[in-house]
Amino acid sequence: MLVVHHLGVSQSERIVWLCEELAIPYSLKRYDRDPVTRLAPADYKALHPVGTAPVIEDGETVMAESGAIVEYIVAKYGRGRLSLSPSDPEFANYLFWLHFANASMGASEMIRMVAAFVGAGADHPAMQFVNDRSQRAHALVEGRLAAAPFFAGEDLTAADIMMVFTLTTLRAFTPRDLADAPHTLAYLKRIGERPAYQRAMAKGDPGLRPMLT
Protein backbone atom coordinates (compact mmCIF):
# COMPACT_ATOMS: atom_id res chain seq x y z
CA MET A 1 0.00 0.00 0.00
CA LEU A 2 1.08 3.55 -0.68
CA VAL A 3 2.42 5.23 2.47
CA VAL A 4 2.25 9.01 2.74
CA HIS A 5 4.63 10.52 5.31
CA HIS A 6 3.02 13.84 6.20
CA LEU A 7 4.85 16.58 8.08
CA GLY A 8 2.40 18.90 9.81
CA VAL A 9 1.87 22.32 8.22
CA SER A 10 3.85 21.50 5.12
CA GLN A 11 3.48 20.91 1.42
CA SER A 12 3.01 17.21 2.04
CA GLU A 13 -0.67 18.15 2.53
CA ARG A 14 -0.77 18.11 -1.28
CA ILE A 15 -0.20 14.37 -1.32
CA VAL A 16 -2.85 13.63 1.29
CA TRP A 17 -5.36 15.72 -0.67
CA LEU A 18 -4.41 14.03 -3.95
CA CYS A 19 -4.99 10.58 -2.48
CA GLU A 20 -8.36 11.69 -1.13
CA GLU A 21 -9.43 13.17 -4.49
CA LEU A 22 -8.45 9.97 -6.28
CA ALA A 23 -10.01 7.81 -3.55
CA ILE A 24 -7.04 5.43 -3.60
CA PRO A 25 -5.97 3.26 -0.66
CA TYR A 26 -3.11 4.78 1.31
CA SER A 27 -1.62 4.76 4.79
CA LEU A 28 -1.00 8.11 6.45
CA LYS A 29 1.88 8.61 8.87
CA ARG A 30 1.89 12.00 10.59
CA TYR A 31 4.90 13.81 12.03
CA ASP A 32 4.87 16.95 14.15
CA ARG A 33 7.35 19.76 13.77
CA ASP A 34 9.86 20.46 16.52
CA PRO A 35 8.05 22.84 18.91
CA VAL A 36 11.10 25.11 19.23
CA THR A 37 12.72 25.15 15.78
CA ARG A 38 9.51 24.40 13.81
CA LEU A 39 11.63 22.10 11.63
CA ALA A 40 10.98 18.48 10.72
CA PRO A 41 11.96 15.94 13.40
CA ALA A 42 14.99 13.73 12.90
CA ASP A 43 12.96 10.63 12.05
CA TYR A 44 11.28 12.50 9.18
CA LYS A 45 14.57 13.83 7.82
CA ALA A 46 15.90 10.27 7.85
CA LEU A 47 13.23 9.04 5.43
CA HIS A 48 14.99 10.35 2.32
CA PRO A 49 18.43 11.88 1.65
CA VAL A 50 16.88 15.22 0.68
CA GLY A 51 15.47 15.48 4.23
CA THR A 52 12.33 17.46 3.35
CA ALA A 53 8.58 16.90 3.07
CA PRO A 54 6.81 15.20 1.43
CA VAL A 55 7.99 11.61 1.24
CA ILE A 56 6.07 8.56 0.06
CA GLU A 57 6.77 4.85 0.06
CA ASP A 58 5.30 2.63 -2.63
CA GLY A 59 6.66 -0.86 -2.26
CA GLU A 60 10.41 -0.58 -2.69
CA THR A 61 10.12 2.98 -3.99
CA VAL A 62 10.89 5.84 -1.60
CA MET A 63 10.26 9.21 -3.22
CA ALA A 64 10.53 12.87 -2.27
CA GLU A 65 9.67 16.19 -4.02
CA SER A 66 5.97 17.05 -4.09
CA GLY A 67 5.70 17.81 -7.81
CA ALA A 68 7.34 14.52 -8.74
CA ILE A 69 5.18 12.62 -6.25
CA VAL A 70 2.00 14.19 -7.63
CA GLU A 71 2.95 13.22 -11.18
CA TYR A 72 3.92 9.72 -10.03
CA ILE A 73 0.64 9.06 -8.23
CA VAL A 74 -1.50 10.53 -11.02
CA ALA A 75 0.34 8.48 -13.66
CA LYS A 76 0.33 5.24 -11.67
CA TYR A 77 -3.02 5.38 -9.87
CA GLY A 78 -5.04 8.15 -11.49
CA ARG A 79 -6.49 6.19 -14.42
CA GLY A 80 -6.66 9.41 -16.41
CA ARG A 81 -8.13 11.48 -13.58
CA LEU A 82 -6.75 14.90 -12.55
CA SER A 83 -4.47 15.13 -15.58
CA LEU A 84 -4.81 16.32 -19.18
CA SER A 85 -3.56 14.77 -22.39
CA PRO A 86 -1.48 16.65 -24.98
CA SER A 87 -4.57 16.85 -27.20
CA ASP A 88 -6.50 18.85 -24.60
CA PRO A 89 -6.70 22.61 -25.37
CA GLU A 90 -5.74 23.34 -21.74
CA PHE A 91 -2.70 21.04 -21.73
CA ALA A 92 -0.21 23.91 -21.76
CA ASN A 93 -1.99 25.63 -18.86
CA TYR A 94 -2.03 22.33 -16.97
CA LEU A 95 1.73 21.91 -17.32
CA PHE A 96 2.49 25.56 -16.60
CA TRP A 97 0.60 25.77 -13.31
CA LEU A 98 1.65 22.27 -12.23
CA HIS A 99 5.28 23.42 -12.33
CA PHE A 100 4.87 27.13 -11.60
CA ALA A 101 3.64 26.26 -8.10
CA ASN A 102 7.08 25.23 -6.86
CA ALA A 103 9.56 26.25 -9.54
CA SER A 104 8.61 29.94 -9.51
CA MET A 105 5.93 30.97 -7.02
CA GLY A 106 6.87 28.68 -4.16
CA ALA A 107 10.57 29.41 -4.63
CA SER A 108 9.96 33.16 -4.42
CA GLU A 109 7.91 32.78 -1.27
CA MET A 110 10.59 30.65 0.36
CA ILE A 111 13.20 33.31 -0.48
CA ARG A 112 10.91 35.92 1.08
CA MET A 113 10.72 33.81 4.22
CA VAL A 114 14.50 33.41 4.46
CA ALA A 115 15.11 37.11 3.73
CA ALA A 116 12.73 38.11 6.51
CA PHE A 117 14.33 35.56 8.85
CA VAL A 118 17.79 37.08 8.40
CA GLY A 119 16.40 40.56 9.01
CA ALA A 120 16.28 42.01 5.51
CA GLY A 121 13.98 45.02 5.73
CA ALA A 122 11.50 46.11 3.07
CA ASP A 123 14.09 48.50 1.59
CA HIS A 124 16.77 45.81 1.24
CA PRO A 125 17.46 45.07 -2.46
CA ALA A 126 17.00 41.34 -1.93
CA MET A 127 13.61 41.86 -0.28
CA GLN A 128 12.54 44.30 -2.99
CA PHE A 129 13.48 41.71 -5.60
CA VAL A 130 11.51 38.84 -4.06
CA ASN A 131 8.56 41.05 -3.15
CA ASP A 132 8.31 42.13 -6.78
CA ARG A 133 8.40 38.50 -7.95
CA SER A 134 5.77 37.60 -5.38
CA GLN A 135 3.50 40.45 -6.46
CA ARG A 136 3.77 39.46 -10.11
CA ALA A 137 3.05 35.81 -9.29
CA HIS A 138 -0.09 36.66 -7.32
CA ALA A 139 -1.26 39.01 -10.07
CA LEU A 140 -0.80 36.20 -12.58
CA VAL A 141 -2.82 33.86 -10.38
CA GLU A 142 -5.63 36.39 -9.99
CA GLY A 143 -5.76 36.92 -13.75
CA ARG A 144 -5.94 33.21 -14.46
CA LEU A 145 -8.69 32.63 -11.91
CA ALA A 146 -10.66 35.51 -13.37
CA ALA A 147 -10.65 33.61 -16.66
CA ALA A 148 -11.24 30.02 -15.50
CA PRO A 149 -12.67 28.28 -12.42
CA PHE A 150 -9.56 26.10 -12.04
CA PHE A 151 -5.96 26.50 -13.14
CA ALA A 152 -6.31 24.08 -16.07
CA GLY A 153 -9.80 25.12 -17.10
CA GLU A 154 -13.20 23.87 -16.07
CA ASP A 155 -12.20 21.01 -13.80
CA LEU A 156 -9.85 20.37 -10.88
CA THR A 157 -6.53 18.81 -11.89
CA ALA A 158 -3.16 18.06 -10.35
CA ALA A 159 -2.23 21.66 -11.19
CA ASP A 160 -4.68 22.77 -8.49
CA ILE A 161 -3.31 20.17 -6.08
CA MET A 162 0.07 21.85 -6.50
CA MET A 163 -1.08 25.47 -6.47
CA VAL A 164 -3.41 25.51 -3.46
CA PHE A 165 -0.70 24.99 -0.84
CA THR A 166 1.18 27.98 -2.27
CA LEU A 167 -1.93 30.13 -1.83
CA THR A 168 -2.90 28.83 1.61
CA THR A 169 -0.65 27.05 4.11
CA LEU A 170 2.55 28.61 2.78
CA ARG A 171 1.14 31.95 3.96
CA ALA A 172 1.72 30.73 7.53
CA PHE A 173 5.41 31.33 6.77
CA THR A 174 5.10 34.27 4.34
CA PRO A 175 1.97 36.22 5.35
CA ARG A 176 -0.09 37.84 2.61
CA ASP A 177 -3.48 39.54 2.63
CA LEU A 178 -5.68 38.34 -0.25
CA ALA A 179 -8.33 41.04 0.18
CA ASP A 180 -7.37 42.56 -3.17
CA ALA A 181 -7.69 39.21 -4.98
CA PRO A 182 -11.42 38.42 -5.20
CA HIS A 183 -11.06 35.72 -7.86
CA THR A 184 -8.39 33.96 -5.81
CA LEU A 185 -10.61 34.08 -2.73
CA ALA A 186 -13.59 32.74 -4.69
CA TYR A 187 -11.40 29.91 -5.97
CA LEU A 188 -10.21 29.04 -2.47
CA LYS A 189 -13.81 29.00 -1.30
CA ARG A 190 -14.60 26.41 -4.00
CA ILE A 191 -11.60 24.36 -2.94
CA GLY A 192 -12.63 24.53 0.72
CA GLU A 193 -16.05 23.12 -0.16
CA ARG A 194 -14.59 19.97 -1.72
CA PRO A 195 -15.16 16.94 0.56
CA ALA A 196 -11.79 15.44 -0.39
CA TYR A 197 -9.96 18.63 0.60
CA GLN A 198 -11.85 18.77 3.88
CA ARG A 199 -10.98 15.14 4.65
CA ALA A 200 -7.34 15.65 3.75
CA MET A 201 -6.90 18.69 5.97
CA ALA A 202 -8.74 17.04 8.87
CA LYS A 203 -6.58 13.92 8.63
CA GLY A 204 -3.27 15.63 7.95
CA ASP A 205 -3.53 18.66 10.21
CA PRO A 206 -6.32 18.16 12.74
CA GLY A 207 -7.05 21.38 14.56
CA LEU A 208 -5.49 23.55 11.86
CA ARG A 209 -7.93 25.91 10.16
CA PRO A 210 -7.16 25.95 6.43
CA MET A 211 -6.00 29.40 5.30
CA LEU A 212 -8.68 29.89 2.66
CA THR A 213 -9.36 33.60 3.31
Q: Which domains does the chain have, with CATH numbers?
A: 2-81+198-204 (3.40.30.10), 91-194 (1.20.1050.10)
Write down the mean pLDDT value for the chain. Answer: 94
Q: Is there a contact between 65 and 80 (Cβ–Cβ < 8 Å)?
A: no
pLDDT of 157 reads 98
pLDDT of 112 reads 81
Kindly tell me if the per-residue pLDDT of 197 is higher than 90: yes
Q: How far is the C-alpha of 201 from the C-alpha of 16, rounded, in Å?
A: 8
Tell me the pTM.
0.94
| Average pLDDT value for residue range 156-170 | 97
Alpha helices in the chain (DSSP H): 13-22, 42-45, 66-77, 91-100, 107-117, 125-147, 158-167, 182-192, 195-204
Listed as own residue / partner, the contacts of 204-210 with beta carbons closer than 8 Å and 24 or more positions apart are 204/6, 204/8, 204/12, 204/13, 204/16, 204/28, 204/30, 205/8, 205/9, 205/13, 208/8, 208/9, 210/168, 210/169
Q: How far is the C-alpha of 157 from the C-alpha of 48, rounded, in Å?
A: 27
Provide the pLDDT confidence category of residue 76 given band limits of 50, 70 and 90. very high
| Residue percentage of the chain with pLDDT more than 90 | 82
pLDDT of 128 reads 84
pLDDT of 27 reads 98
